[in-house]
Structure 1
Amino acid sequence: METESIKELRHLLVTVFLTGLAGFIAIPAITDVTISALCPSHPRCSLAIFLSGFQQAATGVGAVVMTPLIGNLSDVYGRKALLTVPLTVSIFPLVILACSRETNYFYAYYAVRTVAAMVGEGSVHCLTLAYVQADKIEERKRASAFGILGGVGSAAFVCGTLAARFLSTALTFQVSAFLSMIAVGYMRIFLKESILDSGTGLRQPMLGESQEPRAKEECEINDSAHKTSGIFKSLPSVRDLICLLKCSPTFSQAALVMFFNSLADGGLQTSILYYLKARFQFNKDQFADLMLISGIGATLAQVLLMPIIMPAIGEAKLLSMGLFVLCLSILVYSISWSPWVPYAIAVSSVFGVFVRPSICSIASKQVGPGEQGMVQGSLSGISSLANIISPLIFSPLTALFLSEKAPFYFPGFSIMCAAFAMMIAFIQSIMIRAVPSDVGGKGSGNPLV
């Protein structure tokens, strides 16, 4: 049984790798393609910044609704069935750019990519986490599993970025689209469904084993509500989410950290590539070099360091350490004075990869295995909410301070604001006292190895 479980996990990891590889190959070229289609020969393109910000906000709106829905549906209908949706919709925008990068094709890509991201953004990560932690891994080994899963994603990032460094722009999107198709086919053929046996009951009452009797009474969920059929009845209600926030202070703190961390990440994502292009005239190859350095460091940190450090110091301390390093790194980004500075920061910021696995591990221990899809979907929804707000703040700031109309000369001002958001997340993380819940902790899964 253990061997079969490990085999299934390997198929999941291959799926994650192929999906990540397909997506990451395209990233270094997107900025150049966008500016070439919208503002030829103008490295400072406000329209590109605003369109990217709008896409990020629209993606967040869709993800706030779709990620909790897909995560919760996966608790009922299985991870594989729901994983098919985001993997399939991600193919179409890549096929459009594989055909052409002209202005009309770019707008078609932009529209399709926005809709596809609204449906699938964050869902793959949410479902793979739920597949691992609820269905295959016992609670005490989930943190290591998160590290391995994140390490595979980072390895895909490295391989994809390295491939983008040597592929032409046209071939980049053709290869990316082909790999996306391979990922869907592999997942459908080899990955087994993880849905729990209906005879054992798929769901468990949220925090049903809570040590606080009053909280348990207040947060007890009517089992009959979970037996109702229909897709929209599978969407977590506001009552469910408020219940979890009220019953678990640890989850509430983790959710707050997730929000500000995602707000800062979204701000950095909105600003950094356009900032480097305007400030130092970086192009696709230099973006790929930066991502390659970060990706190699992230892979090594997650695969080699995280399984060692996590048991020694715990998720809460590792979370704080990662946030502190990220805060300093983003702050230095904002005052980069030479083209070599971003490369140096890319090396030092690898410890930031500890943040999300730590948050997910802390949150996963607060509920039973039958509710992992909803919890991880809720975290992804909180992250998506931050991604809605982030471009509304950082896109105008980036466009303003990279233009000639800036109130004062500080091209990295928007990035410095992202560093302040990360500082808030760091301060909140210090207050977390991650006491594992007993829910689902006994005999809830198979060992990782």
Structure 2
Amino acid sequence: MEGWERLIHLFVTVFMAFLPFYLVNPALTDVTVAAVCGGKDECSLSIYLTGFQLAITGVGSALMMPMIGNLSDAYGRKNLLTIPLILQIIPIVILAWSRTTNFFYAYYAMKILTDMIVDGGVLCISFSYLADNVGEGKRVGAFAALSGVMSMANVCGTLAAGLLSLSLIFKVASVLAILAAIYMRLFLKDSDREKDDLQPLILSSEADHSSKKTDFIHQIPSPKDVFHLLKSSKIIALAASVCFFNSVGEAGAGSFLLYYLKARFQFNKDQFSLIFLIINVGATITNVILMPILGPVIGEQTILCVGIFAGFLSMLLESIAWAPWVPYLGSSLGMFFTISSSCIRSIVSKQVSSNEQGIAQGSLLAMTSISSIVSPLIYSPISAWFLSDNPPFDFPGFCMLCVGFSYVIALILSLVIKFKPFISKDTRHPALC
């Protein structure tokens, strides 16, 4: 029962942490275009700014995520989770104050800096915490449930965004971000494993001060350490490759689909909110209800392949959208393509020991971050070119089709993964195994 209590507090923390992000997300495209495009519905500058933000954030996250994950292995999930939860408050507060061009660029600069830690930090530590408290037999369902909680936050944030005015959205999001950090500090408890591992590090004497510094430095993994982990088994290497190409597709769709729809069908905040709502209602049903039941029965590989194929099919529909209702049809596939990441994380978590969960999840998020560097380098010029007044040929959705090709590569790689028979090694929480 204690394990479930911890997971409930983790779920509430993740819900509250992602709710501000999803609340402001539908409005950010309008805010960006209004601040930099001089009253036009689209401009190349807004697209390139988004691409640059993704690339720089990706570089920072790729370096930071393995370090944050490894430090959480040594110093505790709760201690490290405090950092991204506090940092995410800063850029939201800036837009809550004002959304003029100068304030937008201040937000933009601060968002790049904080997202190097925030963007994957909450996920990295949360999934590591979950792996500490859930046995291997239930892990794919638990990972999916946590993803479902994020989808629930997306649904609630999207609904609220449709009801609130632009000025209120950022004020409410600021308050919610502050409450998330407070709730986590008050209610989330470190697991027994973390307390045992932390005990040697909690030293009060001055003689041990230099030893603590040395321990801290040794917990910072080098790129060589991350590379060694990712190639430590064929399953991990293949899962990391699938993660990379799947994330390239997710980053491309998440960053450039809205600009494409705004230019193609003049969508605004309300239409974007409906699209997010369709995706995440379906994702919530799949992750929270179906995956915990079907995951242990069907297995990760089958679910992973279904999810990736759904991602490709969605991008294909978006690219050839001939009417405003077609993007909604493509978005309905969100109940399937959102399950891929949970499967990949579950696969990798089963290949490492309990004291390596943090660095393993951090390394996966580093792959995701690298994909965020590659994705805008590929899709920013394609999107800007085909949405310009002088495209090479008349196919506004060509960028979305290119995004779909990354899902095809991920699908091919996912078909190669062969799993070892499941043998549970986790006896700490029998009720959760």
Q: Same fold (TM over 0.5)?
A: yes
Q: Is the 8 A contact 1:369 1:444 kept in 2?
A: no
How much does 1:353 deviate? 1.6
Residue 424 (structure 1) aligns with: 409
Q: Does residue 1:161 correspond to 2:146, yes or no?
A: no
Query: How many residues get paired?
Result: 423
1:139 to 136, 139, 143: 136
Distance 1:90 1:191 in 2: 18
TM-score (norm 2): 0.94
User: Which runs of structure 1 show a deviation greater than 4 angstroms over 4 or more consecutive aligned residues?
Assistant: 197-203
Matches within 5 A, 1:161-240: 161-194=158-191, 196=193, 229-240=214-225
C-alpha deviations, 1:303-333, integer Å up to 9, x for none? 1111222122100111011111111111111
SS at match of 2:431: coil
Distance 2:67 2:421 in 1: 26
Distance 1:273 1:24, change over 3 A: same
Distance 1:92 1:444, change over 3 A: same
Residue 427 (structure 2) aligns with: 443
Distance 1:228 1:113, change over 3 A: closer
Q: Is the 8 A contact 1:277 1:283 kept in 2?
A: yes
Q: Is the 8 A contact 1:139 1:445 kept in 2?
A: no
SS at match of 2:332: helix
Distance 1:388 1:124 in 2: 20
Equivalent position amino acid for 1:9 in 2: L
Distance 1:290 1:319 in 2: 23
Distance 2:179 2:218 in 1: 33
TM-score (norm 1): 0.90
SS at match of 1:282: coil
1:389 to 353, 357, 374: 374
How much does 1:119 deviate? 2.3
Q: Is the 8 A contact 1:52 1:270 kept in 2?
A: yes
Q: Does residue 1:20 correspond to 2:25, yes or no?
A: no
Flag structure 2 segments of 5+ consecutive residues without an equivalent: 201-210
Q: Is the 8 A contact 1:44 1:403 kept in 2?
A: no
Distance 1:429 1:413, change over 3 A: same
How much does 1:377 deviate? 0.3
Q: Does residue 1:333 correspond to 2:306, yes or no?
A: no
Residue 214 (structure 1) aligns with: none
Q: Is the 8 A contact 1:5 1:446 kept in 2?
A: no
Q: Does residue 1:86 correspond to 2:70, yes or no?
A: no
Distance 1:47 1:147 in 2: 37
Identity over aligned pairs, percent: 48
How much does 1:292 deviate? 0.7
Q: Does residue 1:350 correspond to 2:298, yes or no?
A: no
Residue 415 (structure 1) aligns with: 400
1:32 to 11, 30, 33: 30
Distance 2:5 2:309 in 1: 37
SS at match of 1:193: coil
Flag structure 1 segments of 5+ consecutive residues without an equivalent: 204-225
Matches within 5 A, 1:28-177: 28-133=26-131, 135-177=132-174
C-alpha deviations, 1:176-205, integer Å up to 9, x for none? 0100000000001111123626657999xx
